[in-house]
Structure 1
Amino acid sequence: MGVHFVSWNYDQMGIVATLELEEECDNTVAWQRFYPDGTIALLPLNNKFSSLVWSTTLHHSKELLSLTEQEFIDKLNESLWRTSGKNFIVEESTKAFDQFMKVLNLSSTKERQLPPKIIRCKENSRASFPLGFGHATNYVMKGAALVGDAAHRVHPMAGQGANLGFGDITCLNEILGEAAYCGSELGSLLYLKDYETRRQRRNVPTMLAIEGLHRLYGTDSPPAVLVRSIGLQAVNALQPLKGLIKSFAAS
């Protein structure tokens, strides 16, 4: 289509795999662990399996892919359960903030949940792909439209890449339905431009938010750690805001 595509690489790889859990359970919680060099995300598939996306450096990804299955599982469980080094100032500040929220009857403190233990990878499910950011300046031209990864790429840390693509498809389907109902040709640029406007208004803010989170969680600088820790506490305590974020992410 000759569309200009703004992009940059993160110099990271995403390692994916289908994982079997040690125990069958009500597996409805997505897990993420953040480290300065990447993110580990577990996304539920059913009561016994979860999908892995492990974002990490190029060098570390090669190491992980070279491991045997059992070595890989051991390394994954260790990383999921490992307690990161804590900063005293950050710890005390977050405790003070939690006490303040309790005074307002908005405490976010709940019983701590623990990640599931992984026992194996589904055979031949381990793979990797390069991570980067990308966005097409235009999604459409007469007779053609871009959707999903052809139009935009985001870091997988927030799990929104697929949702953005599904949103594109839903919107384009509605637009084409409107064109057909009005007797216009399906490739009419007038209708396709409406698709582009709607989706860019939705996609761009989401992509910028994900990029901001990626940068915020990609550092172990104490001020950044403090900001994200207090931010998570606040969101977790303010149920209307939490519900709004969930609704936006799922739409």
Structure 2
Amino acid sequence: MASTAVVKASIDVVQIVGADGVSSKVRAAMGAQYLTWNYGQMGLVATVRLSEPTENKVAWQRFLPTGPVALLPLTDELSSLVWSINSDEARRLLNLTDECFADALNEALWKQHPRHPAVDTATRRLDSILDSLMLRSSAVRQLQPSVAEIEPNSRAAFPLAFGHSTRYMGAGVVLIGDAAHRVHPLAGQGVNLGFGDVKCLTEQLTESVYSGQSIGSKSPLLNYETSRQRHNVPTMLAIDGLQKLYSTEATPIVVLRSLGLQLTHALTPLKSAIMNHAAV
């Protein structure tokens, strides 16, 4: 008489990777606490055609009293617009014709705003000090491009906010990208943080397999959470601080941030360290 034994085994696996955006249902199902606050701004995006073809390979950003406006290169003729502006003004701009919107954008890119004499005096003095120390950058300032037209049906807007999940992992669940964190676009770091999450999670899961652990065991997921939170939280707080720093026109703050930018540009090791951190 033959008998067959049925053996049941449980295998730990990562059942769900939550990559479902800022309103993540995966995060909600995890019950993770989510810290968030709004900036009272919207990110207005569009694809714009430049006035003339150029070697378009450098991202360009201008900080305005109303918020930063940035052009990110796509091709020699096209750039992607990210314009952070208060919500009411964003809605008004969305309702303009493409021609009027292009005019408003060019004004934002080129209009000269009055500067307090204290700011000019402080920056000139710092320039003199940097020159005497041979630290002043020799880089040629790149002028901002002009926009010829807006690509049809490319305009949209979304609310800007800070958001962070206190946990990135649960039983068989892990969060990455906007499901785990959300930042203001002024530093262009949202996608970098997401790419860093994917890279770190892949490395941790790969290492767990090669070391003989289950792909869904708790250890690699905890390592992922710890590593990414140690990187993401300081980066996010720095971006939030920059947003607040550039949201005021108080003269002492304007002087300090102008001097800070000058020093960062002049001190190559500092600039390199910031760029290396942002690229992780």
Q: 1:3 — aligned with what?
A: 32
1:186 aligns with 2:215: yes
SS of aligned partner of 2:88: helix
Unaligned runs of 5+ in 2: 1-29
> Residue in 1 aligned with 2:137?
108
Instruction: Write the mapping of 1:55-94 to structure 2, written as runs, cut at 5 A.
Output: 55-94=84-123
Whether the 8 Å CA contact 2:59–2:71 is kept in 1: the answer is yes
Distance in 1, Cα, partners of 2:77 & 2:206 = 39
* Corresponding letter in the other structure for 2:257: R
Q: Which structure is larger by alpha-carbon Rg, 1 or 2?
A: 2
Pairwise CA distance, 1:25: 1.2
Q: Percent identity?
A: 52
- Is the contact made by 1:98 and 1:109 (CA closer than 8 Å) also made in structure 2? no
If the length of structure 2 is used for normalisation, what is the TM-score? 0.87
- The residue aligned with 2:247 is 218
Q: Map of 1:1-251 to 2, 5 A cutoff?
A: 1-108=30-137, 110-251=139-280
Amino acid at match of 2:181: H
> Once superposed, what is the RMSD of the aligned Cα atoms?
1.2
SS of 2:71 mapped into structure 1: strand
Distance 2:208 2:134 in 1: 52
**What is the CA–CA distance in structure 1 between the aligned matches of 2:211 and 2:264, rounded to whole Å?**
44
The residue identity in structure 1 corresponding to 2:164 is H
Unaligned runs of 5+ in 1: none
The code of the aligned residue for 1:101 comes to L
Q: Does the CA-based 8 Å contact 1:143-1:187 persist in structure 2?
A: yes
Per the TM alignment, residue 185 of structure 1 is displaced from its structure 2 partner at its CA by 2.5
Equivalent-residue separation in structure 1 for 2:215 and 2:47 (angstroms): 39
Deviations 1:122-157 (A, max 9, x none): 222110111000100010012110000000000000
Q: C-alpha offsets along residues 102-121 of structure 1, whole Å, 9 cap, x if unaligned?
A: 11111236543211111122
Contact 2:66–2:247 (8 Å) recurs in 1: yes
Q: How many aligned residue pairs are there?
A: 251
> What per-residue deviation string (whole Å, max 9, x for no partner) do you get for residues 51-76 of structure 1?
11111111101110000001101100
Partners of 2:260 and 2:272 lie apart in 1 by 15
Kindly provide the amino acid, as one letter, of the partner of residue 179 in structure 1: S
SS of residue matched to 2:41: strand
Question: Do the aligned partners of 2:98 and 2:152 also contact (CA within 8 Å) in 1?
Answer: no
Partner SS, residue 91 of structure 1: helix
